[in-house]
């Protein structure tokens, strides 16, 4: 038994012989007439289809977003129909020569096999899978479609929509603090660090004010990634962990975290004032290895028990003083013990060097912690 779906649509004449159709349809209905053309090799080794498999983790993320209150999917799903789908223009004249309203008529067939469906997904298969799986009643989506019986045209469009360059990471981090949405897990994890970094960079009274290089602050000299890493380490294993508050906005006592970071880095600026004013080329202090290792020092100092939960700047200064004679940020050479010597600038932003420097800088606090037992 066959039936048909009639949808109000716009027909857009885009270029010679190329027409696009724009319409809205409940995403849950789409599976009745569209399918995904999976890439594979046939018996004669010829390639057919063009889509990769669904990315289940990605679908789970979208699905969780769709099940949250009032989701929004602004970008269109792109479909390719074969010529069984037709457009019936509405009666009357339109004022624009390139667009007319009408009805898109899609044949529906019960129990039709996937390859026989009239539509193929060119872009949006993960979103469609998420809508299909989501525990929601319906979700109308915008669709842009073209009609062709030529699979090459579909493949062409598939390549074009999927080969755009992703956003630079740094820009994403800078945009993150301003979002409220349910974000995919990897981005969600970066949101709090990004927010704290933003504070450090924008607050006027911050010791790092304006010094972190981001898309909108290209003159900053400290790498955003180093600051993020320093903050993430502390959130996992250091002093900032103690200010996580799952019930609050951002899941944290952001004000207290900001205070800790401000106090510590202000203390660093005072204790190492000569090296602090110099660009990373002339000082290892604000270089990746320095920032991340000092973050570990912040955590080590904050662990020493006779210090209250949010140490003051003065307390950090006092605890940092012993490092003055051990550090060689701008000249001379580091003596890491066991015959391991390094010229001041021969410390790189690598895991090995960060570990070497961190352990070295944390040594005084280790002994202090043992003694305080």
**Shortest distance, CB of residue 234 to another protein, whole angstroms?**
8
Per rule CB under 8 A, is residue 235 in the interface with another protein?
Answer: yes
Per rule CB under 8 A, is residue 40 in the interface with another protein?
Answer: yes
* Phi, psi of 344, deg, nearest 5: -50, -40
Q: Which is nearer to another protein, 48 or 101 (CB)?
A: 48
Cα–Cα dist 167/162, whole Å: 13
Cα–Cα dist 165/125, whole Å: 19
- 158: burial class by Cβ within 10 Å (0-12, 13-18, 19+)? buried
* Phi, psi of 193, deg, nearest 5: -55, -40
Per rule CB under 8 A, is residue 57 in the interface with another protein?
Answer: yes
Among 30, 33, 49, 134, binds another protein (CB under 8 A): 49
Q: Within positions 279 to 298, which residues make up the interface with another protein, using CB under 8 A?
A: 296
153's CB contacts (< 8 A; 6+ apart) are 80, 146
Cα–Cα dist 90/102, whole Å: 4
Per rule CB under 8 A, is residue 307 in the interface with another protein?
Answer: no
The C-alpha angle with vertex 180 and arms to 178 and 186, in degrees rounded to 5, equals 90
Q: HSE of 361 in the Cβ direction (CA atoms, 13 Å)?
A: 29
Per rule CB under 8 A, is residue 355 in the interface with another protein?
Answer: yes
Among 14, 236, 333, 335, binds another protein (CB under 8 A): 236
Check: CB of residue 122 under 8 Å from CB of residue 49. no
Per rule CB under 8 A, is residue 72 in the interface with another protein?
Answer: no
Per rule CB under 8 A, is residue 53 in the interface with another protein?
Answer: yes
Residues 97-116, one symbol each (x = binds another protein by CB under 8 A, - = not), give: --------------------
Per rule CB under 8 A, is residue 300 in the interface with another protein?
Answer: yes
Query: 279: which 2 tokens?
Result: 């660009």
Per rule CB under 8 A, is residue 351 in the interface with another protein?
Answer: yes
- Could you list the residues that contact another protein (CB under 8 A)? 38-41, 49, 52-57, 60, 64, 185, 188-189, 233-238, 241, 244, 246, 251, 296, 299-300, 303, 351, 354-355, 358-359, 362, 365-366, 369-370
């Amino acid at each position: 038994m066959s039936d048909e779906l009639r949808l109000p649509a716009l027909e857009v004449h885009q270029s010679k012989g190329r027409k696009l159709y724009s319409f809205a349809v409940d995403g849950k209905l789409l599976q009745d007439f569209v399918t995904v053309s999976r890439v594979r090799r046939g018996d004669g080794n010829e390639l057919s289809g063009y889509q990769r498999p669904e990315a289940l983790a990605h679908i789970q993320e979208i699905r969780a977003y769709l099940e949250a209150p009032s989701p929004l999917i602004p970008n269109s799903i792109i479909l390719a129909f074969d010529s069984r789908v037709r457009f019936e223009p509405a009666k009357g004249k339109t004022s624009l020569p390139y667009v007319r309203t009408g009805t898109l008529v899609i044949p529906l067939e019960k129990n039709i096999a996937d390859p026989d469906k009239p539509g193929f997904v060119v872009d949006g298969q993960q979103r469609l899978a998420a809508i299909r799986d989501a525990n929601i009643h319906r979700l109308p989506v915008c669709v842009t479609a073209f009609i062709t019986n030529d699979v090459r045209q579909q493949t062409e469009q598939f390549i074009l929509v999927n080969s755009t360059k992703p956003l630079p990471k740094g820009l994403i981090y800078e945009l993150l603090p301003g979002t409220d949405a349910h974000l995919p897990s990897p981005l969600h994890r970066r949101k709090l660090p990004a927010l704290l970094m933003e504070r450090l960079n924008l607050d006027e009274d911050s010791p790092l004010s304006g010094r972190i290089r981001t898309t909108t602050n290209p003159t900053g000299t400290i790498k955003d990634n180093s600051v993020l890493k320093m903050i993430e380490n502390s959130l996992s294993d250091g002093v900032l962990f103690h200010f996580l508050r799952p019930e609050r906005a951002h899941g944290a006592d952001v004000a207290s975290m900001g205070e800790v970071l401000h106090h510590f880095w202000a203390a660093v600026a005072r204790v190492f004032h000569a090296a602090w004013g110099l660009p990373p080329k002339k000082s290892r202090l604000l270089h990746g290895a320095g920032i991340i290792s000092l973050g570990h020092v912040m955590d080590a100092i904050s662990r020493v028990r006779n210090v209250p939960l949010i140490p003051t700047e003065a307390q950090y200064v006092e605890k940092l003083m012993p490092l003055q004679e051990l550090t060689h940020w701008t000249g001379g050479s580091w003596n890491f013990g066991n015959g391991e010597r390094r010229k001041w600038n021969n410390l790189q932003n690598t895991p090995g060097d960060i570990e070497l420097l961190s352990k070295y800088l944390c040594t005084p606090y280790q002994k202090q912690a043992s003694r305080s037992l």
